[in-house]
Amino acid sequence: MPVPPSARRVKPSRYISVDIEADGPIPGPYSMLSLGAAVAGTQDADGFTAADPERLTFYRELRPISEEFVPEALAVSGLDRDRLRAEGVEPGVALAEFTDWVREVSAGAQPVMCGYPASYDWTFLYWYLIRFTGASPFGHSGCLDMKTLYATKAGLPLRAVAKGTMPRHLLSKRRHTHHALDDAIEQAELFANLMRWPGRPAPGPVPD
C-alpha cells in the first residue's frame, strides 16, 4: 500500500532502550542509582531499521538523593549506596549529560524511550529529568512499552504477558543482569525483534 505524502513529512522516531536501577518504588523518597540507554533503531515511513545496540550507549551511576531505601530493591541492582554517595555523579549533571546524548543520537528524528516494562523506568526517568533539568528530551509522552507492544501483536491480555510467555526467537540471547546498561542493550534487541515480528495471525471465524 502506498505511503501517503503526509506520513512522509513526519519525522522518524529514534527508539532508545532505557533501563534504570533504583532503591525503592517511586522517585523522590527513593533514588535512581543507575541509568543505562542504548539506541535500538529508527522507524520512518518506510519501516523499522534496527541499530547495533552496543554502538550508541550511555551509562551513569548517580548519587542518592535521600537517606531512604528499600533493602530488597537495593539488593536487586547490587549497587552500594555508600560508594555512590562518594563516587556517584550528581543527578543534575548526569541527567544533563543524558539529555545531550539523547539529542545527539536523535539528530533528525524524534527520540522515543522504550522499556520492558516502561512504566517503572519512565516514572523515575521523567521525574528526574523534570526535577533536575526542567525538561525531557522525550517530551511528556515519548514512551513506548514493549510489554504492551507484544500483547497487542500477540493478541493477548496485557496481564498475561511475561518474557517467559514469548516465543524464544523474540528474546535476546543476552542475560538480564540488573546492570542498567547490560539490560538496556538486552531490551534493545528484544525491541528490534518485536518491531520486525508480524505478530500472531488473528483467529478465524468460528464455524456455525
Catalytic center residues: 178
Distance CA 158, CA 177 (A): 24
Going by C-alpha positions, the residue among 183, 112, 177 that lies closest to residue 149 is 112
Please give the Cα distance from 13 to 143 (Å, whole number): 11
Location of C-alpha cell 491480555: 157
Nearest to 32 by CA among 125, 114, 113, 122: 125
Contacts of 85 (CB under 8 A, 6+ apart): 63, 64
Q: How far apart are CA 172 and CA 104, in angstroms?
A: 26
